[in-house]
Amino acid sequence: MLSYQHGYHAGGVADVHKHVALCLLLARLAKKTKPFCVIDLYAGEGEYDLAAHKAQKTGDFKTGVERIWQSVDAQPAVQGYLDLLKRLNPGGELRRYPGSPAIARAFMREHDRLILNELHAGAYPALGRWARKDARISVHNRDGLEALVALTPPEIRRGVVLIDPSFEVKSEYAAVPEKLSAAVPRWREGIFVVWYPILKEGRHRSLLAGLSGVDAEVLVSEISRNAAKAGEAAAGLLGTGLAVVNPPWKFENAMAEAGDWLARKLGPGRHTASWLNRAKT
């Protein structure tokens, strides 16, 4: 049975890193009039109430989104994300936090499509309620990697897939690159974003080793933090990582700008960017 519930961690450092990158990618896709498609394989509940018991219990958002959402010195690369937060919380109190489905929906036009998937018995109905009445959105209830195989390539070929399991099941570190290796050649135009936690056990290294076998360019962005210095009791998460397969042209520059700024504001921390399988130019 799945025990992870994203309501405890919404708006934490990992969400901020992942959602800033997602905003940058969606803004690129929305620049062209041709429709795009978003496939969110581990969608969660759609949107979160930061005043609710779960978010208050861990306080994860206090060391994440709360530290930056009203910054006046934001770099252009994070502005889209901050604007979205301000639109959701017009009164100036940070209460609503957009999950990846809400972020995707904020960028969608009439002909764009959002395909959501969630396995958890509690999160899936909540996601269905969040998505109801929007004919552009479909919601599935199956294993995320099974859905990756079944739902790609989508009919609309411009698009992005988000793969951010909770990694409760350790075999996911090997299964994610294995399934991606099969999906990428079937959908060459697709951008695939994999999020992973950096923990002291270092299991993400095997994930990255697996991703280096994917037949495409992969940009890796990591924000590592000194949690003890940042004054946090729970030093579990040492950092957050993103691997973007098939990143758009010059996406690395925007990600570097955003990552460096986030590491400074959420730190003390450090942002590093590197390539797996960079094509020789």
Q: Is 164 a catalytic residue?
A: yes
Query: Which bin fits 183, alpha (ψ -120 to 50), beta or left (φ > 0)?
Result: alpha
Size of the site for ligand SAM (CB under 6 A): 22
Q: Does 259 bind ligand SAM (CB under 6 A)?
A: no
Q: Measured from the CB atom, is 32 or 241 closer to ligand SAM?
A: 241
Q: Which of residues 118-137 bind ligand SAM (CB under 6 A)?
A: 118-120, 123
Strand order in the sheet with 159-163: 137-140, 113-117, 37-40, 159-163, 191-198, 239-245, 218-225, 269-276
The least CB distance from residue 1 to ligand SAM, in Å, is 11
Strand locations in the chain, DSSP E?
37-40, 47-49, 96-98, 113-117, 137-140, 159-163, 191-198, 218-225, 239-245, 269-276
Q: What letter represents residue 46's amino acid?
A: G
Stretch that binds ligand SAM, among 114-122, 131-139, 199-207, 220-228 (CB under 6 A): 114-122
Q: Are 54 and 280 in contact (CB under 8 A)?
A: no
Q: Measured from the CB atom, is 75 or 166 closer to ligand SAM?
A: 166
Q: Does 43 bind ligand SAM (CB under 6 A)?
A: yes
- The Cα–Cα gap between 70 and 73 comes to 9
Q: Does 140 bind ligand SAM (CB under 6 A)?
A: no
Q: Does 44 bind ligand SAM (CB under 6 A)?
A: yes
- The Cα–Cα gap between 142 and 125 comes to 13
- The Cα–Cα gap between 161 and 148 comes to 9
Contact residue for ligand SAM among 165, 190, 210, 259 (CB under 6 A): 165
Q: Measured from the CB atom, is 178 or 215 closer to ligand SAM?
A: 178
Q: Does 144 bind ligand SAM (CB under 6 A)?
A: yes
3-state secondary structure string, 219-236?
EEEEEEECCCCCCCCCCC
- The Cα–Cα gap between 136 and 124 comes to 18
Stretch that binds ligand SAM, among 77-85, 112-120, 202-210, 234-242 (CB under 6 A): 112-120
Tell me which of 15, 60, 164, 260 is the catalytic residue: 164
Q: Which of residues 9-38 bind ligand SAM (CB under 6 A)?
A: 15, 18
Stretch that binds ligand SAM, among 41-49, 69-77, 174-182, 209-217 (CB under 6 A): 41-49
What positions carry a catalytic annotation?
164
- Name the residues that contact ligand SAM, by CB under 6 A: 2, 4, 6, 15, 18, 40, 42-44, 99-100, 117-120, 123, 143-144, 162, 164-166
